[in-house]
Amino acid sequence: MSKNNFPWISRQAVRLFCWLVFLLGCNRRLAWLFRLFADANLRPYQRSLSGRFPIQVDKGVLFLSCDEAYYRQFGLHLVRSALEHSPGFNIHLHVNRLSQEFRQELQELTQASPGGLLTFTGDDLEFEHLSGAARWYYLASVRFVRLYQLVQACKAPVLSLDADGVVVKSLDPRFAQMDGQDAGIYLRLDNTLDWRKVLASALFVMPTELGERFIRDVALVVAWRLRRELPYHIDQLVIFYLWRVYSAREKNFRVTALSRDMADWECGEDSYIWSAKGDRKYLNPEFLDALEHHRAPGDA
């Protein structure tokens, strides 16, 4: 399914499924049914998980997820930039289809990280059968299942970021801004297309009841959809629809609207994170300079 072919009926199916997951999750009488549904959809992701999540979190966690190739191309620069500009924050990496060789390399990297702030998990789920856009859609979406597992494990504020971003300023003010909130979502409601009304490049999840419920529902709908044909930006569509459901039905759901300074593809000097967008990750001189700044001898 291409980015220009996302039929109305498919979008409505996702929207209605978001409502169903929300309603089941709220109904104590149907808790047993909800658990059966959750187990059926999330069991493969739990069984495939290896590594460890952060044990102690003092300030918050930065989260990125990608495959090995994308980590070597971009993710390592995000990790290094975060360690430089936002010291004291935990950084958690999830690697899709983690090889034994790369696992050993990451173990050495985490042991050498300042204060042991870098941790990683991996999985052995197959996605090599996917090619082209479908492979990209899978990797972009499955990270939110892993994000839910991370939030469950560490019970701390978590900021999920695109792996091809660069931290250029301390994130302390943005984490402080999230105090008392359940989530932070980059809303772009002026866009016409539903799957562009949210930008998934940056997403805060807070360790509150509603924050955990929200990301749980995101993970469940994404996991359900990953078993079927993958539409363009299904992750952003699910986040948008569930944000709309929670905003309408949970009066205490508190969301901070994030702005472009958390995912700035123009690389502005006042931004916190520079985010690659399309071909700009290869052409934008400011972004390329930031990558070069965090390059180390021996990088591929």
pLDDT range class, residue 68, cuts 50, 70, 90? very high
| Helix runs in 27-119, H state only | 31-47, 68-70, 76-85, 100-112
pLDDT, tens digit (0-9, with 9 covering 90-100), for 141-172? 999 999 999 999 999 999 999 999 999 999 99
Q: Phi/psi at 87 (nearest 5 deg)?
A: -65, 145
* pLDDT tens, position by position, 202-259: 999 999 999 999 999 999 999 998 887 666 789 999 999 999 999 999 999 999 999 9
DSSP letter for each residue of 147-213: HHHHHHHH-S-EEEE-TTEEE-S--HHHHHHTTT-SEEEEE-TT-SSGGGSEEEEEEEE-SSHHHHH
pLDDT at 2 over 70: no
Tell me which CATH homologous superfamily contains domain 8-293.
Spore Coat Polysaccharide Biosynthesis Protein SpsA; Chain A (3.90.550.10)
The whole-number pLDDT of residue 231 equals 67
Residue 39 pLDDT level (bands cut at 50, 70, 90) = confident
Least confident of 56-60, 272-276, 281-285: 281-285
Q: How far apart are CA 278 and CA 118, in angstroms?
A: 28
Instruction: Output the average pLDDT for the chain.
Output: 91
Share of the chain above pLDDT 90, in %: 70
Tokens of 106: 């990451």
Q: What are phi and psi of 246, to 5 degrees?
A: -65, -40
Q: What is the pTM of this model?
A: 0.94
Confidence of residue 297 (pLDDT cuts 50, 70, 90): low
State the Cα–Cα distance between residues 288 and 198, nearest whole angstrom: 26
Which percentage of the chain shows pLDDT scores above 70?
93
pLDDT given for residue 251 in this prediction:
94
- Which pLDDT band, with edges at 50, 70 and 90, does 281 fall under? low
Asked whether residue 277 carries a pLDDT value surpassing 80, the answer given is: no
DSSP class per residue in 219-275: HHHHHHHHTSPPPTTHHHHHHHHHHHHHHHH-TT--EEE--GGGSBTT--TT-SEEE
pLDDT value at residue 57: 95
Query: For 79-109, b where at least 16 C-beta lie within 10 A, e where not — what string?
Result: bbbbbebbeebbbbbbbbbbeeebeeebeee
Name the burial class of residue 169, with classes exposed (0-12), middle (13-18) and buried (19+) by CB atoms within 10 angstroms of its CB: middle
Q: Is the pLDDT of residue 5 over 60?
A: no
Question: pLDDT band for position 31 (50/70/90)?
Answer: confident
Predicted confidence band of residue 28 (pLDDT cuts 50, 70, 90):
confident
Q: What is the pLDDT of residue 155?
A: 95
Residue spans per domain, the chain: 8-293
Q: Give the residue, 242 or 126, on which the prediction is more confident.
A: 242
Give me Rg for the CA atoms of the chain: 18
Cα gap 117→61, rounded to integer Å: 9
